[in-house]
Amino acid sequence: MTHQVTRGHVLTAREGLMGLLRKIRTTGRVAEPAPPRPEAEQPLAAEELRGSVQVRCVDAGSCNGCEIEIAAAFNPLYDAERYGARLVASPRHADVALVTGPVTRNMAEPLRRTVAAMGEPKLVVAVGDCAIDCGEFAGGYGVEGAVADVLPVDLTVPGCPPEPDQIVAALRRVTGR
């Protein structure tokens, strides 16, 4: 049995654990209240998803700024999961495709295949100015176009890069929570 010395006396591991549990019980849950529900209208396909969506992120040729903000949207500070959005690794499990960056010539077909592999109903969300209108990459030799030039887009999140709370707000529009 391990022992820990605190304030002049020896605690066993069990006593230390019991003290920690007591502190958790007396402190209670500490979390910020959720912001009000989004006022914007839900996309039509979102009504069938019933408040919970599986999200697949696709980088179609971005600078990685939007991916960093998406990762922040799912971290404990912004916590998109509490609103029913969860990241998944396979498009076959996904309901929503978060697409970032302008669609490059090499990513146009893989993006189409990824979205085609998703089950119905499915939504495509263009995240960032580059996904919406090619942003800084407009007219580039390797750029096929914006996401809407390759696939039908249900929702957009403007910004370069968009703030994590804007991404969470878009996902809340999809989940309705």
Could you tell me if 46 and 123 are in contact, meaning their C-beta atoms sit under 8 angstroms apart?
Answer: yes
Q: With CA atoms as reference, report the closest residue to 72 among 132, 153, 159, 176.
A: 159
pLDDT under 70: residue ranges of the chain: 1-11, 28-35, 37-40, 42, 44-47
- What per-residue confidence (pLDDT) applies to 103? 94
Classify burial at 177, counting beta carbons within 10 Å of its beta carbon; exposed 0-12, middle 13-18, buried 19 or more: middle
pTM of the model: 0.77
| Residues sharing a CB contact under 8 Å with residue 115, sequence separation 6 or more, in sequence order | 91, 97, 122, 124, 151
- What per-residue confidence (pLDDT) applies to 6? 56
- What per-residue confidence (pLDDT) applies to 21? 80
